[in-house]
Chain A
């Protein structure tokens, strides 16, 4: 079936996945003799050759420690690292590259905010407002900090549709609300949260606004100014970049007032035996030798995404998601979780009588890679009344033909397990 392009939409650069797929070496491999159909992109995306090469190029040509080595390699490495920072900042609409802190991943970024900002400021009885659909990475750090400080966790309730009950927001925000930490897009339901609206309300209530953007930065145009958040966290490996590199963006003023998270080299200004003073932002938060090659690889991923165009990526993935929801709806005994479109580029579902583990194992034989499990969102699984779900999640290189393969494989799995 051909891709349906809604009539009258201004093509924001229409994306042809067939033209982009050769950029991703792994997509040409087979699994069990079948072409790989990679639909686990919300877990991690595959990497274009440009990213693989950019990372390898660091090690081939200019591997050195940054900000220390007074030699050509060190200067080249430092320049590439800082260029990467500026590219990432521009990609998320941040006017000041100093707001971009390179870390390992979104998890580390949220932990930094929770420990270095939250733990120092939260007092017993203060409140941290979350949602029930947070990934464990935006839930457990707050549980740990709440246990240390006596702060309370509160939650914006979910409507039966899988959307947030924003009507409850006003009642939840109060002078004790110090932090509001919310996902921009659910990794299970695909819910796109009205994050700008939530941030506006949070800031009006005097609360710090933290956004888990791990599932939005790879899929939608993201502008930290338009969102109006204080901190925004995302992972490089979910946006076609390397594993092991992630970003915390913070308003420079917020970063200034945040204490260091990890201590060590690079993050200091002046060290005595008994005390130290801190380097300026963002270096204050980049203790130790950073992942230079990862940052350079992430910048290559940003270049790639800018060349394709985030508007085109979003439009293509919206079409794919719509198509996938249609295919899944037409299959017998399939329950789909989450709100109707517009939603994130994924579909969590269950096939009656077939446990998601068994389904994923069966699909794998057809070369189809999906996620099965609780998706690091156990409270949400309980809310949905399931132990686990299967999840197909999409990227710019996926095609409707691949979704047809998924659909056919689900049907065969159902027969195999005699559902």
Chain B
């Protein structure tokens, strides 16, 4: 099995990722009418996230997260929150598919993913893909309605 090279570590931990890890955007819980929340864990490492969002007029009006996890999972959540605010459901699903495709070794579509392409290096570390997708899986569940009330 080929080893990920020395450069791969710098690829994995781009400056923008470390920045989101240390200064996460959109932390918190969204409460109130129309808000949905999802708790999700990564069973391999115990990382946990609570993701909540509120749709308004067919768009993600607000999206926030709380969690404990590694830099990859938390930066991914922070960058996702930035990327998806204001997006329609279809657009959000599209970004999610493009993001997961990139982690599976597919192209890093900069026009749809923006800053998220910084996470492309994760593809070289299969064990870490689950870290990067934790928030996205929570978001998809929230959109899919497999949810509980954020106030509960």
Partner of A357, one of B3, B6, B22, B70: B70
Question: What 0/1 pattern do residues 362 to 394 of A give for CB contact below 8 A with B?
Answer: 100100000011100010010000011000000
Do A387 and B9 have beta carbons less than 8 Å apart? Answer: no
CB–CB B69/A355 < 8 A: yes
Question: Do residues B45 and A32 form an inter-chain contact, with CB atoms below 8 A?
Answer: no
For residue B31, CB closer than 8 A to chain A, the reply is no
Give the residues from 1 to 42 in chain B that come closer than 8 angstroms, CB to CB, to chain A. 3, 5-6, 9, 12-13, 18, 21-22
Interchain CB contact under 8 A, A358 and B71: yes
**Pairs of residues from A and B, 6 with the lowest C-beta to C-beta distance, nearest first:** A355-B70, A357-B70, A374-B46, A387-B46, A373-B45, A387-B68
Give Cα distance in the complex from A387 to B45, angstroms. 8
Q: Enumerate chain A residues within 8 angstroms of B82, measured Cβ to Cβ.
A: none
Q: CB of B131 within 8 A of chain A?
A: yes
Contacts of A358 in B (CB 8 A): 13, 70-72
What residues of B have a CB within 8 angstroms of the CB of A32 in the complex?
3, 5-6
Smallest beta-carbon distance B144→chain A, Å: 26
Judging by beta carbons under 8 Å apart, are B48 and A387 in contact?
Answer: yes
CA distance A357 to B46 in the complex (A): 11
B37-66: which have CB < 8 Å to A?
44-48
A416 within 8 A of B: yes
Per the 8 Å Cβ criterion, residues 393-419 of A in contact with B are 416-418
Across the interface, B3 reaches (CB within 8 A) one of A31, A362, A388, namely A31
Q: Which range holds the interface residue count of chain B?
A: 20 to 34
Per-residue interface assignment for chain A, residues 299 to 310, with 1 indicating a CB less than 8 Å from any chain B CB and 0 otherwise = 000000000000
Q: How distant is A352 from chain B, measured CB to nearest CB, in Å?
A: 13
With a cutoff of 8 Å between Cβ atoms, the chain A residues found around residue B45 in the complex are: 356-357, 372-374, 387-388
Q: Which of B9, B21, B22, B69 contacts A362 (CB 8 A)?
A: B9
Q: Which residue of B lies closest to A416 (CB)?
A: B13
Interface pair A378/B46, CB less than 8 Å apart:
yes
Q: Is A171 engaged at the interface, CB distance under 8 Å to the other chain?
A: no
| Chain A contact residues: helix, strand, loop or mixed | mixed
How far apart are the CA atoms of A33 and B18 in the complex, in Å?
Answer: 25
With A358-B70, A387-B48 in contact, do A417 and B3 touch (Cβ < 8 Å)?
A: no
- Check: A65 CB closer than 8 A to any chain B CB: no
Interface membership of A361, Cβ < 8 A: yes
15 A-B residue pairs with Cβ-Cβ distance under 8 Å, sorted by A, are A32-B3, A32-B5, A356-B45, A356-B70, A357-B69, A358-B70, A358-B71, A358-B72, A361-B9, A365-B9, A373-B45, A381-B46, A387-B45, A388-B45, A417-B21
The reply to whether B47 and A388 form a contact with Cβ atoms under 8 Å apart is yes
Q: Would B6 and A373 count as touching, CB distance under 8 A?
A: no
CB of B46 within 8 A of CB of A373, answer yes
The residues of B that contact A361 with a CB separation of less than 8 Å are 9, 12, 125, 128
CB-nearest residue of chain A to B48:
A387
Look across to chain B and name the residue whose beta carbon is closest to the beta carbon of A372.
Answer: B45
User: When A381-B46, A387-B47, A387-B48 are in contact, do A357 and B18 touch as well, CB less than 8 Å?
Assistant: no
Task: Give the residue name and chain of the A residue nearest to B67 (CB).
Answer: A387
Q: How large is the interface on A (under 10, 10 to 19, 20 to 34, 35 or more residues)?
A: 20 to 34
Chain B residues whose CB sits within 8 angstroms of the CB of A365 once the complex forms: 6, 9
Q: Kindly provide the distance from the CB of A414 to the nearest chain B CB, expressed in whole angstroms.
A: 13
Q: How many Å from the CB of B138 to the closest CB on chain A?
A: 16
Question: Is A418 touching B9 in the complex (CB atoms < 8 A)?
Answer: no
The answer on a CB contact under 8 Å between B46 and A388 is yes
Q: CA separation between A373 and B43, bound complex, in Å? A: 9
Which of A31, A358, A374, A417: most chain B Cβ within 10 A? A358
CB proximity of B11 to chain A, nearest CB, Å: 12
Q: How far apart are the CA atoms of A355 and B73 in the complex, in Å?
A: 10
**Complex interface: chain B residues within 8 A of A372 (CB):** 45
Cα distance, A388 to B47, chains bound together (Å): 8
Q: How far is the CB of B72 from chain A (nearest CB, A)?
A: 7
User: Whose C-beta in chain A lies nearest to the C-beta of B3?
Assistant: A32
Q: Which residues on A sit within 8 Å (CB–CB) of B72?
A: 357-358
A374 and B82 CA atoms in complex are apart in Å by: 30
Q: Which residues of A contact B69 (CB under 8 A)?
A: 355, 357, 387
Q: What's the minimum C-beta distance from A390 to chain B, rounded to whole angstroms?
A: 11
Residues of A within 8 A of B47 (CB): 357, 387-388
Since A356-B70, A387-B68, A387-B69 are in contact, a sample of 17 more A-B pairs with Cβ atoms closer than 8 Å, ordered by chain A residue number, is A31-B3, A32-B3, A32-B5, A32-B6, A355-B69, A357-B70, A357-B72, A358-B72, A373-B44, A373-B46, A374-B45, A378-B46, A381-B46, A387-B45, A387-B46, A416-B13, A417-B13
Instruction: Judge whether B68 and A357 touch: CB under 8 Å.
Output: no
Assembly CA distance A145 to B5 (angstroms): 47
Most chain A beta-carbon neighbours within 10 Å: one of B21, B22, B45, B131: B45
In the complex, how many angstroms separate the beta carbon of A14 from the nearest chain B beta carbon?
Answer: 36
A355 touches B18 (CB 8 A): no
- Contacting pair A355 B46 (CB below 8 A): no
| B128 cross-chain contacts in A, Cβ below 8 A | 357, 361
CA distance A33 to B48 in the complex (A): 34
- Interchain CB contact (< 8 A) of B18 among A31, A381, A418: A418
Once the chains are docked, how many angstroms separate the CA of A388 from the CA of B44?
A: 10
Across-interface contacts of B3 in A (CB, < 8 A): 31-32
In angstroms, Cα B73 to Cα A388, docked, is 14
List of A residues within 8 angstroms of B125 by Cβ: 361
Residues of B contacting A416 in the complex (Cβ-Cβ under 8 angstroms):
13
